[in-house]
């Protein structure tokens, strides 16, 4: 009798698996018949809806997925990662994994080192990079610190999967023999595009004036997501009819709230917290903002454009795979407060421009449809495990 393929998926926290890998877990388990293990921090839920995520963990247990709770820390310098590394290495050495698939930068570095012996015994190690910290617009310190680390660690994996074209091209200089590109983890574009909502009613339901301009951002309130630049841009505009709606949780909420007070736009910055109605909110928004300092691809930007909403974004990294400056919105340097203010003002003042950009937005995100993205990943799984 043939032994089942054993697969280990490693990421920092369970929300990452739930948001970006649940379909892959199902494919490995249900379609390919693999024994699937997941190693991550199952206790950290600061960035998600705890009730929903606990239900997802229950579903994994019911399916027979083997769960390993490892308290990874996001910072590579945290002492917690010494213990996490030892725990992970023990798991890898206790099983005979055919494939070890790791995600997120710090965890992937630890995994590749922990799996060195397993590779010698035949395990395949694959790293999906969701955005290198070094990119064309990154500060020099990112290149000095992260580029040598990633290039060195590339010696210790067999497949490197990238989700944007810039990373794919740069990875050609690495040591990994198999470099692949997939169009992200996929967005259910048809679902978002076909969501029907009465804009005026929905605006009123979240506390906005019916005829205001709704500017939407979806993402954790952390430094990387860079909500601050939009708040500062609105502080310059001082347009009482623009309401900036932020969906997400995070440690910077108090700072951003105080900044809005300081700039005298407190009533125009709305914090909705974690939301389950993103398709409805995208279809209610007039403009979307996605000003990340770094972004491997960025589902929130694609989701907004899938609703035909023009995007005011940063001009970095994976965002440039779908944002076309002047056609689907405007792309600015992440720290360019004046540039974001100008872009927002143009889209507010010229409603017909927003309407004309809508079809171009829909066209630009077609290739990121979830079926296309998943099939690209599953083709790699088939290649390795069938």
Which of 143-152, 278-287, 337-346 has the least mean pLDDT?
143-152
* Cβ contacts of 351 within 8 Å, gap of 6 or more: none
Same domain? For 32 and 73 the reply is: yes
The answer to whether residue 294 is domain-embedded is yes
Q: What is the pTM of this model?
A: 0.86
SS3 18: helix
92 and 218 housed in the same domain? no
Q: How confident is the model at residue 386 (pLDDT cuts 50, 70, 90)?
A: confident
Residues 6+ apart with CB under 8 A from 61: 67
Is there a single domain that holds both residue 252 and residue 300? yes
> CA 300 to CA 240: how far, in whole Å?
25
Quote the DSSP letter at residue 245: E
Q: Is residue 55 part of a domain?
A: yes
Tell me what the mean pLDDT of segment 123-131 comes to.
96
The pairing of beta strand 35-41 with beta strand 66-69:
parallel
Which residues are paired to 102 by β-bridges? 10, 127
Domain shared by 196 and 171, yes or no: no
Tell me the sheet residues that pair with 7: 36, 99
- Specify whether 241 is located in the same domain as 141: no
For residue 196, tell me if it sits in a domain: yes
Q: Taking 70 as the threshold, does the pLDDT of residue 34 lie above it?
A: yes
Count how many residues are written for the chain: 386
Q: Are residues 271 and 204 in the same domain?
A: yes
pLDDT at 155: 96
Give me the number of domains the chain comprises.
Answer: 2
Q: Which residue has the tokens 């995070």?
A: 250
243 and 336 part of one domain = yes
Q: Based on the fold, state whether residues 132 and 208 are members of the same structural domain.
A: no
pLDDT for res 2: 65
Residue 86 forms part of a structural domain: yes
In this structure, the answer to whether residues 76 and 197 fall within a common structural domain is no
Which token pair is 304?
């907004």
- Same-domain status, 197 and 159: no
> Considering the chain, what percentage of its residues have pLDDT values greater than 90?
89
Select the highest-mean-pLDDT range: 6-10, 73-77, 128-132, 363-367. Answer: 6-10
Q: What's the mean per-residue pLDDT of the chain?
A: 95
Q: Are 244 and 289 in contact (CB under 8 A)?
A: yes
Q: What is the DSSP string of 102-161?
A: EESHHHHHHHHHHTHHHHHTT-EEEEEES--S--TTS-HHHHHHHHHHHHHHGGG-SEEE
CATH number assigned to the domain comprising residue 69:
3.40.50.2000
3-class secondary structure, 93:
helix
- pLDDT exceeds cutoff 60 at 1: no
At 336 the pLDDT is 97
Helices within the chain (DSSP H only) = 14-20, 22-26, 50-63, 80-94, 105-114, 116-120, 140-153, 165-171, 189-193, 199-205, 227-237, 253-262, 278-284, 299-306, 337-349, 351-364, 370-385
Residue 1 lies in a domain: no
Measured distance CA(284)–CA(271) in Å, rounded? 16
pLDDT for 138 equals 83
User: Could you say which DSSP state residue 318 is in?
Assistant: G
The phi and psi torsions of 5 (rounded to 5 degrees) equal: -65, 135
What would the mean pLDDT of 304-315 be, rounded to a whole number?
96
Give yes or no for residue 3 having a pLDDT over 80.
no
Question: Which range marks the domain in which residue 48 is found?
Answer: 6-186+370-385
pLDDT, one tens digit per residue, over 183-206 is 998 899 999 999 999 999 999 999
Higher pLDDT among residues 2 and 124, named by residue: 124
Task: State pLDDT tens for residues 201-242.
Answer: 999 999 999 999 999 999 999 999 999 999 999 999 999 999
Percentage of residues in the chain having pLDDT higher than 70: 99
Task: Evaluate whether residue 349 is within a structural domain.
Answer: yes
pLDDT band at residue 139 under the 50/70/90 scheme? confident
What residues does 40 pair with on adjacent strands? 69
Instruction: For residue 132, give the nearest of 164, 101, 100, 157 by alpha carbon.
Output: 164
Asked if residue 65 belongs to a domain, the reply is yes
Task: Give the mean pLDDT of 313-322.
Answer: 93
**Considering the domain boundaries, does residue 284 fall inside one?**
yes
Q: Domain check: are 167 and 247 in the same one?
A: no
Q: Are residues 213 and 143 in the same domain?
A: no
What would the pLDDT profile of 79-113 be if each residue is shown by its tens digit? Answer: 999 999 999 999 999 999 999 999 998 999 999 99
């Amino acid at each position: 009798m043939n032994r089942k393929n054993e697969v280990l998926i490693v990421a920092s926290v369970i929300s990452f698996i739930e948001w970006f890998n649940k379909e892959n877990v199902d494919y490995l388990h249900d379609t390919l018949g693999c024994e699937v293990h997941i190693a991550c921090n199952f206790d950290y839920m600061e960035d998600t809806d705890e009730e929903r995520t606990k239900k997802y963990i229950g579903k994994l247990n019911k399916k027979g997925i083997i769960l390993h709770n490892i308290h990874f820390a996001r910072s590579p310098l945290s002492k917690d990662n010494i213990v996490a590394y030892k725990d992970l290495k023990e798991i890898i050495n206790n099983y005979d994994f055919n494939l070890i698939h790791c995600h997120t930068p710090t965890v992937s570095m630890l995994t590749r080192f922990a799996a060195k012996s397993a590779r010698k015994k035949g395990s395949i190690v694959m790293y999906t990079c969701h955005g290198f910290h070094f990119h064309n617009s990154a500060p020099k310190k990112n290149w000095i610190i992260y580029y040598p680390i990633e290039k060195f660690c590339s010696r210790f994996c067999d497949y490197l999967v990238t989700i944007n074209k810039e990373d794919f091209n740069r990875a050609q200089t690495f040591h990994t023999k198999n470099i692949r590109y997939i169009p992200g983890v996929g967005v259910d574009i048809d679902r978002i595009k076909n969501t029907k909502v009465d804009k005026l009613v929905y605006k009123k339901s979240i506390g906005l004036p019916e005829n205001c301009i709704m500017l939407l951002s979806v993402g954790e309130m952390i430094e990387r997501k860079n909500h601050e630049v939009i708040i500062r841009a609105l502080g310059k505009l001082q347009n009482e009819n623009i309401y900036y709606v932020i969906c997400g949780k995070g440690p910077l909420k108090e700072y951003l709230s105080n900044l809005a007070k300081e700039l005298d736009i407190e009533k125009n910055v709305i914090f909705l917290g974690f939301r389950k109605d993103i398709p409805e909110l995208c279809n209610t928004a007039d403009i979307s903002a996605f000003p990340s300092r770094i972004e491997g691809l960025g589902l929130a930007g694609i989701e907004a454009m899938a609703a035909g909403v023009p995007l005011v974004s940063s001009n970095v990294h994976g965002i440039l795979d779908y944002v076309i400056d002047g056609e689907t919105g405007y792309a600015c340097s992440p720290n360019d407060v004046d540039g974001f203010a100008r872009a927002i003002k143009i889209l507010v003042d010229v409603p017909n421009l927003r309407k004309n950009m809508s079809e171009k937005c829909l066209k630009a995100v077609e290739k990121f449809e979830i079926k296309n993205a998943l099939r690209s990943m599953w083709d790699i799984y088939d290649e390795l495990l069938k």
